[in-house]
Structure 1
């Protein structure tokens, strides 16, 4: 049995279908635990600031607010936070540059980079 600490993943995703797929895929990875999700900017910040997490998967377009605002708020906090990975359906070079400047460490296109996102997270467990 592997006694390595589980990485805690938090999802910021308002599309229930995508969230379900992500949870299903992530929970099959050894040493990963999905600790929660939020569908809006306000809920995401409330949760991210109150629970322990290692990786946040951030969608840019949210039901209320935006993932950019979440990234910006976390960057301006005094606290050290975990890794932020962007998973968006509207990827562009400009958006990637903006998210990276706000502290994101990865940028993935929802339409065809789910496997790359999962591989990136798997690599973090080693």
Structure 2
């Protein structure tokens, strides 16, 4: 991978405001870019089948389907060890957190309290990947 090539992030989020905010924040470093967006679980799985990404940000509650369906797909396809999976949700319930970690999700953040942590984690991930 070229050291200057930004890491590709798939953003699975149905809120246009959150998508815009994350896309702006991630793109500002030059090390990351939102290379794909999906608003529904089906759209996300279809995108993951045809493209490769370095990281995914998944919202649990989507317009159609659930982020859990997407995570189950990633887990069953054996993709979670190869990419950084971050859940960013308003539904930061212990049961969701536990299930996500069982599936192999790297980070689970509450959208209202830990939004900035997503940026920090991805920046750190990108920095380490650039060094290798």
Return the alpha-carbon distance in structure 1 between the equivalents of residues 6 and 53 of structure 2.
10
Return the alpha-carbon distance in structure 2 between the equivalents of residues 3 and 67 of structure 1.
31
For structure 2, which runs of at least 5 residues remain unmatched after alignment? 128-132
Cross-structure match for 2:6: 6
Alignment of 1:1-126 (within 5 A): 3-79=3-79, 81-126=82-127
State the SS of the aligned residue for 2:52: coil
Return the alpha-carbon distance in structure 1 between the equivalents of residues 51 and 9 of structure 2.
11
Q: Normalization by structure 1: what TM-score?
A: 0.92
Report the alpha carbon displacement of residue 113 of structure 1 after superposing the two structures with TM. Answer: 0.8
Return the alpha-carbon distance in structure 2 between the equivalents of residues 115 and 31 of structure 1.
16
Deviations along 1:32-54, whole A, 9 cap, x unmatched?
11101000000000001211200
Q: Normalization by structure 2: what TM-score?
A: 0.88
- Runs (4+) of structure 1 exceeding 6 A deviation are none
Contact kept? 2:58, 2:67, Cα under 8 Å: yes
RMSD: 1.6
Return the alpha-carbon distance in structure 2 between the equivalents of residues 78 and 26 of structure 1.
26
For structure 1, which runs of at least 5 residues remain unmatched after alignment? none
Q: How many residues align?
A: 125
